[in-house]
Copies of this chain bind each other. A is one copy, B any other.
Amino acid sequence: MDRRPLPVDPIDVAVKHWESHGWQDAAPGMGVLTSVMRVQQIFAAEVAEVLRPFGLTFARYEVLMLLLFSRRGSLPLGTMGERLQVHPASVTNAVTRLEQDGLIRRLPNPSDGRSALAELTAKGRRLAVSATDSLNTQVFRSIALPADELPQVYGLLKALRRAAGDFT
């Protein structure tokens, strides 16, 4: 689904339309929201391409990394859903697939019979590290902004997330 670059920025055009329809006060917000949607789409495509050879999606990669960074290499599914801010059903989905691929194991939670733990296997640990190496090199280190502007975007997006009640 690759496209040639457009001669004009379609989001600039949309913002101008908003301004000329009497929606001046909403135009900047519309522009920012639409830009976030589009940048996410670009990032998601890049990440998906890098992760495909590993048999991973971004959601499943995030589950692996959460486990990699955890003290014992295991976490309750509910905790993972909270940290990743996704629906419980999405966690179940990702965990099931990762388990089929032998990257994690499901264990009963000794302290709560209702709960399940996901635990990283040795194979999962190795894959998480390899995939991270690729992502670091091909995506994260290549984000096309002057180095001093990255913390700026980060801070602005963080303000948006905090305002939305993501964290306190």
- On whether the beta carbons of B31 and A168 are closer than 8 Å, the reply is no
CB 8 Å contact bits of A129-168 with B (1 = contact, 0 = none): 0001001110111111101011111101111111111111
- On whether the beta carbons of A167 and B83 are closer than 8 Å, the reply is no
- On whether the beta carbons of A158 and B35 are closer than 8 Å, the reply is yes
Kindly identify which residue among B65, B132, B150 contacts A28, using a CB–CB cutoff of 8 Å. B150
Bound together, the chains give a CA A161 to CA B3 distance in angstroms of: 13
Chain A interface (Cβ < 8 Å from any Cβ of B): 1, 3, 5-14, 17, 23, 25-33, 35-44, 47, 58, 65, 69, 82-88, 132, 135-137, 139-145, 147, 149-154, 156-168
Given A3-B82, A37-B40, A85-B41, A144-B163 contact (CB < 8 Å): yes
Contacts of A149 in B (CB 8 A): 156, 159
Expressed in whole angstroms, the minimum distance between the Cβ of A165 and any Cβ of chain B is 5
Kindly identify which residue among B42, B69, B153 contacts A17, using a CB–CB cutoff of 8 Å. B69
- Residue on B with the closest CB to A44? B37
Expressed in whole angstroms, the minimum distance between the Cβ of A59 and any Cβ of chain B is 10
Expressed in whole angstroms, the minimum distance between the Cβ of A35 and any Cβ of chain B is 4
